[in-house]
Amino acid sequence: MDREALKNLLPHREPMLLIDEAEKVDAENAIGKYSVKGDEFFLQGHFPGNPVVPGVILCEMMAQTCCVLFSDSDNKKTPYFTGLNKVKFREKVLPGSTLEITCTITKSKPPFYFAKGVGKVNGKIAVSGEFSFALME
């Protein structure tokens, strides 16, 4: 689904809608993409003359991709981050890059969901981590 379709699913809007497209592969897996243009708000001060996508933004991109998996859930509920674990940053994500994200739900005990994600650029892992959500009213 493209950005407009994502707006029907996610509560995020510009400038915090941080994925260009995503799709649900099956009940536990989703994939997403974001192409870094270079003019994003988060690059303006990170770092002048040497722009690099901040790690926290990469984590949010993984989380938004994962939230596509809740499309069958009650859309009146909002997914809130409840934790981040074992996050690793291995490659810089720069303007002109396309981050390809895969996310998997590893465990659920509603309203809590646990997942892992990986973001790659040109086939190389740029970010990986485990995270959790609560789907709340």
The catalytic site residues sit at: 46
Strands 98-109 and 29-35: antiparallel
DSSP string of 36-71, one letter each residue: --S--GGGTTSSTTS----HHHHHHHHHHHHHGGGG
- Using an 8 Å Cβ cutoff, are 115 and 132 in contact? yes
Q: What is the largest CA-CA distance in the chain?
A: 45
Assigned token pair, 42: 């988060």
Q: Give the sheet arrangement for strand 21-24, strand by strand.
A: 21-24, 29-35, 98-109, 112-121, 124-136, 78-89
CA distance 59 to 65: 10
